[in-house]
Amino acid sequence: MTEGFNLIPVISGVIGALIGATSANYFASKSRKSNQTFEFHKEFNSTSFSKYRSEAYLLIKNHPNKNYDELWEEEFHGNNEVRTISLYMIMRFYQRLWLAIKYDKIDNQIAPDLFGEVFVWWYYFSFEKNLVEGTSWTAGGQMLQLERWFQKNMNVVIYKNEMNNALERLIAISNKVQ
């Protein structure tokens, strides 16, 4: 007597293999995203990038009412080339961060804690007035989208504190310039 072919073990094996492959892919993707997030953070806190932030701060401090078009035209070709480039380095970093968030290339649970506080400060200190409202650049729209994402995804108290700190600093600087 010939026994019939039993499909149950074969089907169970295929299902098990699919579940295993899916799980492995999920955890590998999660690990890649976490690593990429910390690489962004490492770059942002590097010595050279800290210098960019310091130079960009001084540029905005000295010219709080100029938009990025004006800064590029007037300051890049003058004595503030390093400061102007520094400001653009910060803007480009946040563009890349936004695109990584938008296309799910980094860990969106970690990103608000690592980048939110400083981004919110920069957004209200410079990006909102001098880039988003002051130019028609694509980067302005991306900064606005990133700000909305952080507003939705980070701690409300931290968000409001950084927004207020940046606006107070900007008001104080603007009053000195006038």
- Is 160 part of any domain? yes
Query: Tens-digit pLDDT profile for the chain (178 aa)?
Result: 456 667 787 787 778 777 876 777 676 677 899 999 999 999 999 999 999 999 999 999 988 888 888 888 877 676 678 888 999 999 999 999 999 999 999 999 999 999 999 999 999 999 998 888 888 899 999 999 999 999 999 989 999 999 998 889 888 887 776 5
Number of domains, the chain: 1
Instruction: Indicate the SS3 state at residue 4.
Output: coil
- Is 33 part of any domain? no
pTM of the model: 0.81
- Is 115 part of any domain? yes
For residue 51, give its domain range.
44-177
What are the b/e assignments for 95-128, b being 16+ CB within 10 Å? eebbebbeeebbbeeebbebbbbebbbbbbbbbb
- Is 57 part of any domain? yes
Residues 19-27: contacts with CB within 8 Å, 24+ apart? none
- Is 69 part of any domain? yes
- Is 4 part of any domain? no
- Is 10 part of any domain? no
Number of Cβ within 10 Å of residue 133's Cβ equals: 11
Both structure tokens of 96: 């890349």
- Is 17 part of any domain? no
